[in-house]
Structure 1
Amino acid sequence: MADIVYTEESFKIIGSCFEVYNQKGFGFTEPIYQECLQIEFSLQGIPFIAQPELQQCYKGKLLNQFFKPDFICFEKIIVEIKSVASIIDAHRAQAINYLNATGFELALLINFGQHPKLEHERLAKSKKFAAALSISDEIGSWLQDKN
């Protein structure tokens, strides 16, 4: 069985999300939950950066475009929040892209729009996941060499 990464930290983050959900309920917009989580993370002593603007590079050049996850907690966990009927593959893909771009190992996808309970998923980079990315990079390099 694979080790679960950042168990304690993710437990604290998800616990804070449950507290916000229990206090506010479901159906508010993301910015409301974002602000509530900032307060709750502070109360729980969870170190976080809210909506950091993370730049990307292409062939050694900084891009003007950036991406902005909802939170980075403990300097190593992406927290992406939603307020939708249910988490879909596009949300998972967004969180996985954040993992790829940062090199982090864990993203927590939290949905406050679900009733009657908070919906949450852990998306962790595994060795199998990393191997798939490596194969994808090799194919991309091979295609580039062919052109």
Structure 2
Amino acid sequence: MADQLTEQIIAAAIEVHKTLGPGLLESIYEEALCIELELAGLPFQRQLAVDVMYKGRAIQGQRLDLLIAKEVVVEIKSLRTLPEVATAQVLSYLKATGLKRGLLLNFGEKQMVGGVKRISL
């Protein structure tokens, strides 16, 4: 199910990929995507710490790459092929935050369109 916010995020990712191409570090794509999000006027939080709850206790150590408009979790990768664990990672972030929508963006693809995976709970 497409929505305006995720479409804007994907458009920003496509612009970054068109400009930089594949093969760079994830941190470079994250920085460039943040610039695109700022230009688009989308609020975001970067490298946000999220606790995982275990038997009523908070365990620290997880960090979201990006949280857009306090609604969409974005995980950035730069790999030739994504391991299945990448999807599980986004799902765990959604569970930890109580949010429903996530995007897994793999800038390692030849075209960004093939590197976009929508994930929802």
**TM-score normalised to the size of structure 2?**
0.92
How many residues align structurally?
119
- After the TM superposition, which segments of 4 or more aligned residues of structure 1 sit over 6 Å from their partners? none
1:21 counterpart residue number: 17
1:9 counterpart residue number: 5
Shift of 1:108: 0.2
Shift of 1:30: 0.3
2:88 counterpart residue number: 93
Q: What is the rounded CA distance, in whole Å, between the counterparts of 1:77 and 1:21 in structure 2?
A: 20
Shift of 1:76: 1.0
Shift of 1:74: 1.1
What does 1:1-147 align with in structure 2 at a 5 Å threshold? 4=1, 7-63=3-59, 65-115=60-110, 117-118=111-112, 119-125=115-121
Q: What is the rounded CA distance, in whole Å, between the counterparts of 1:60 and 1:26 in structure 2?
A: 42
Q: What is the rounded CA distance, in whole Å, between the counterparts of 1:18 and 1:28 in structure 2?
A: 15
**Higher relative contact order (CA closer than 8 Å, sequence separation 6+):** 2
Structure 2, unaligned runs of 5 or more: none
Shift of 1:124: 1.0
Structure 1, unaligned runs of 5 or more: 126-147
Which structure has more strand as a fraction of its residues?
2
State the structure with more CA Rg: 1
Q: What is the rounded CA distance, in whole Å, between the counterparts of 2:85 and 2:55 in structure 1?
A: 27
